[in-house]
Amino acid sequence: MGEKVGRNRSGMLELAVLGLLHQAPMHGYELRRQLSSLLGTFRALSFGSLYPCLKELLAEGLIAEEQDEAARPRASRRARIVYRLTADGKERLQDLLGEGGPAAWEDDGFGVRFAFFGQTRADVRLRILEGRRSRLEERMEAIRAAFTRTRERVDSYTLELHRHGLESVEREVRWLNELIASERQGSERQGNAADSASDDTPNKESS
């Protein structure tokens, strides 16, 4: 179980790094700052693994490093390293963004995937949102069952802790319901627009 969680976190860190470098080349410090800013509101990542991750991506040819001569400190002979995405890295990023399986629904993966929804296909976004909702609904039922079983045997503070956990999950499920409804409406509008454009296309045979 621990190894699976570790692999998921490593894969999510790879996605986060490639996704940010797709937006712009960055120094290692700036990349770390952007990761903290972007992902801090969701699930925390171990930033101690950032530089090993960069080394692996360099070895695989998914990113490249360059000397930033413009940012060279005056008192130093050494230029700063800038990381950029390669063509292979762009392909790898698209592959990762196309994955919508269980790893993207879990606590360690969902926040990272959601942060890059703007670069993700609509069908994959919907699959991830529905998967996340399913996971949380299962968790919600488990919390309710535990609450019912233990409410007569635990103190008021423990009951409040259970209630707080349940309310947090319920809020996220409501949020997901809104997102899913919005995604479906967007897909319907696109489908209607495509049908309308097809109807408006002149028939070459009749002309």
For residue 97, what pLDDT is reported? 95
Beta bridge partner(s), residue 68 = 80
Q: How far apart are the first and last CA of the chain?
A: 65
Shared domain for 7 and 78, answered yes or no, is: yes
Shared domain for 128 and 82, answered yes or no, is: no
Last residue of a domain, one of 114, 146, 170: 114
Shared domain for 34 and 53, answered yes or no, is: yes
Does 8 fall in a domain? yes
d(CA 84, CA 61): 11
Beta bridge partner(s), residue 82 = 27, 66
pLDDT digits over 81-138, tens only? 999 999 999 999 999 999 999 999 998 889 889 999 999 999 999 999 999 999 999 9
| Number of independent structural domains in the chain | 2
For residue 71, what pLDDT is reported? 56
Does 204 fall in a domain? no
Shared domain for 48 and 137, answered yes or no, is: no
Last residue of a domain, one of 114, 147, 162: 114
For residue 33, what pLDDT is reported? 86
Shared domain for 103 and 128, answered yes or no, is: no
Shared domain for 153 and 102, answered yes or no, is: no
Q: Which residues of the chain have pLDDT under 50?
A: 1-6, 42, 204-207
For residue 22, what pLDDT is reported? 96
For residue 1, what pLDDT is reported? 46
Residues 6+ away with beta carbon under 8 Å from 20? 26, 31, 34, 35, 38
Shared domain for 104 and 14, answered yes or no, is: yes
Shared domain for 55 and 92, answered yes or no, is: yes
For residue 125, what pLDDT is reported? 96
Residue 92: give the domain boundaries.
2-114
Query: Tokens for 19?
Result: 């996704």
For residue 5, what pLDDT is reported? 44
Does 205 fall in a domain? no
Shared domain for 8 and 81, answered yes or no, is: yes
d(CA 97, CA 93): 6
Does pTM top 0.85 for this prediction?
A: no
Last residue of a domain, one of 54, 80, 114: 114
Shared domain for 48 and 105, answered yes or no, is: yes
Shared domain for 105 and 17, answered yes or no, is: yes
Does 202 fall in a domain? no
For residue 2, what pLDDT is reported? 44
- Whether the Cβ atoms of residue 34 and residue 20 lie closer than 8 Å to each other: yes
